Chain A
Amino acid sequence: MNYGPKPWQQSNWDFRAALNFIFGGAGAGLLTIAAFSGLGGNALRAEFLLGMALIGAGLVSVWFEIGRPLRALNVGFNPFTSWMTRESFAAGLVFALGLAAVWLASRPLAQAAALAALVFAYCQGRILQAAKGIPAWRVPALIWLVFTTALAEGAGLLVALAALFDAPARGVLGYFSLALIARALAWSMYRGGVTKSAVRPALAVLERAGKLLIQFGTIAPLALLLAGWFAPDIARIAVLLAGVAALATGWQFKFVLITRAAYNQGFALPHLPVRGTR
């Protein structure tokens, strides 16, 4: 039995940190699907610029949170153990390769940038998992949930944007569906792990966010894609809604994860002091 003050919501990382995971993940996911979806020319350029802008917005957001913004470059000093340093390196690579791909309209460079974006998304998962002080974050399965939601959000964004202009390719919709299913599976794994470590208030908010992720972020989009498949008249609007739902639920989950479910470890005594005679 443990005794001690109850854990409380951490206040060191607020919505600004959450935006790094929200925008960064979606941007990385968008770069990934854009590079491998067969897009070319100006369409690829536009998707890449949007993806990099999202990652950049996330990094700028977190830059506003750090105490000494003029020392921001010091973030690169510890690649040996810090996933934050590794994330910054991956981001640098994404921008270098991505901008070169846009400039030269090169698909191989775009695919190389997408691989760097995948590393970036993975680093984001590892950043949270390495935070031992937050039980809801240190669950190993969170890495894959952060990673797969990045893929699902990026795919959701791409199909939603594509649906504004034309019906997205079937291959893209297939990838989007797989990303949604992978995210749902990752949520299921994470849920199994987090119930063993997180405190009740954290579990309550995660459960609500997870329900949205499954109901409106997985089942509803898949149902909309199916509806669009069988009823071509509504296909574009169905795909648009599916994409927006996948994106919005992923973002709300990460916002909750960082700003609502991040209860700290608290203090606990495995034994009480034995004083006087017994």
Chain B
Amino acid sequence: MTRWAMVADLRRCVGCQTCTASCKQANATPPDVQWRRVLDMEVGEYPAVKRAFVPVGCMHCDEPPCMHVCPSTATRKRPDGIVTIDYDLCIGCSYCAVACPYQARYKTDRASFAYGKPTAAEKQGFDPKRLAVATKCTFCADRIDAGMAKGLTPGIDPEATPACVNACISQTLSFGDIEDPHSNVSQLLAENQTFRMHEELGTGPGFYYIWDKKGEEAAA
């Protein structure tokens, strides 16, 4: 079986938001909607201040609370772990939005564009089906499916890889199949210490964060 997952190396992220911009361009999301965004976290007090840039979005959970609560079955999980929304079924009740512990879901009631009137690109990407329903990151499922149909490998071949991962300037983001022990993401997980956000809630996120190398703590 395949289980697509994303890995973010927090040691590498510089908070440039290129992934955010790339996602917006690839998915034509309206203003104020960021399926992929990067949090800028500053913790501590001078002089012991630390800063972390944290890419977030839909975690494509093993047990998605959004899917379980959805009354219309619009939210589903594919066998490869990608959580999807059927815009034709969704009633826009936002129950999924309050059920998601990652604030990954958006609902836009009216069409809105960055400069009032739609630009040529916005016109091209505008999808009325997405109005007044829940939307979120899809892991660029259409790119993955189209790429795989051509025999490409998601996470390795850009044409089959989510736009945010392709755009990342610091190789913070990686994408691949964690069920394959030889995949890029499996190797990253094997070599590094990772966590998943709000893991205690039992959602089983498909998004891992690297924070340190394995074994270095013992060596220190």
Assembly CA distance A79 to B115 (angstroms): 43
Assembly CA distance A152 to B198 (angstroms): 36
Interface string of A133-147 (1 = CB under 8 A from B): 110010000000000
Q: Which of B72, B107, B203 contacts A74 (CB 8 A)?
A: B72
B68 and A130 within 8 A (CB): yes
Least Cβ–Cβ distance between B130 and chain A, in angstroms: 10
Q: For the complex, is B95 an interface residue (Cβ under 8 Å from A)?
A: yes
Q: For the complex, is A162 an interface residue (Cβ under 8 Å from B)?
A: no
Q: Which residues on the A side are within 8 Å of B11 (C-beta)?
A: 273-275
Knowing A76-B71, A268-B198, A278-B220, say if A84 contacts B95 (CB, 8 Å): yes
A265 and B198 within 8 A (CB): yes
Q: For the complex, is A171 an interface residue (Cβ under 8 Å from B)?
A: no
B91 and A71 within 8 A (CB): yes
Q: Which of A5, A71, A83, A134 contacts B41 (CB 8 A)?
A: A5
Q: For the complex, is B193 an interface residue (Cβ under 8 Å from A)?
A: yes
Can you list 24 A-B pairs with a CB-CB distance of less than 8 A? A4-B39, A5-B41, A12-B97, A13-B98, A66-B91, A66-B93, A67-B91, A72-B91, A74-B72, A81-B68, A84-B69, A88-B71, A127-B69, A130-B69, A131-B95, A133-B65, A133-B102, A134-B98, A265-B198, A268-B197, A268-B198, A269-B195, A272-B211, A274-B211
Contact residues, B117-174 vs A (CB, 8 A)? 131-133
Least Cβ–Cβ distance between A86 and chain B, in angstroms: 9
Range for the number of chain B residues in contact with chain A:
35 or more
Chain A interface secondary structure, helix, strand, loop or mixed?
A: loop
Contact residues, B201-215 vs A (CB, 8 A)? 201, 203, 209-213
A82 and B98 within 8 A (CB): no
Q: Which residues on the A side are within 8 Å of B212 (C-beta)?
A: 271, 273-274
Interface string of B50-81 (1 = CB under 8 A from A): 10101010000000010111111110000000
Q: Which residues on the B side are within 8 Å of A265 (C-beta)?
A: 101-103, 198, 201
Q: Which chain A residue has the least Cβ–Cβ distance from B98?
A: A131
Q: Which residues on the B side are within 8 Å of A66 (C-beta)?
A: 91-94
Q: For the complex, is B5 an interface residue (Cβ under 8 Å from A)?
A: no
Q: Which residues on the B side are within 8 Å of A77 (C-beta)?
A: 71-73, 89
B50 and A269 within 8 A (CB): no
Q: For the complex, is A170 an interface residue (Cβ under 8 Å from B)?
A: no
Q: Which residues of A contact B (CB under 8 A)?
A: 3-5, 10, 12-13, 62, 65-69, 71-72, 74-78, 81-85, 88, 127, 130-134, 137, 262, 264-265, 267-275, 278
Assembly CA distance A268 to B102 (angstroms): 10
Knowing A133-B101, A134-B98, A265-B101, say if A68 contacts B71 (CB, 8 Å): no
Q: Which residues on the B side are within 8 Å of A84 (C-beta)?
A: 69, 71, 93, 95
Q: Which residues on the B side are within 8 Å of A5 (C-beta)?
A: 39, 41
Q: Which residues on the A side are within 8 Å of B73 (C-beta)?
A: 77-78
Q: For the complex, is B99 an interface residue (Cβ under 8 Å from A)?
A: yes
Nearest first, the 5 closest Cβ-Cβ pairs linking A and B are: A67-B92, A67-B132, A273-B10, A12-B94, A74-B72
Q: Which residues on the A side are within 8 Å of B90 (C-beta)?
A: 67-68, 71, 74
Least Cβ–Cβ distance between B33 and chain A, in angstroms: 14
Q: For the complex, is B85 an interface residue (Cβ under 8 Å from A)?
A: no
B56 and A270 within 8 A (CB): no
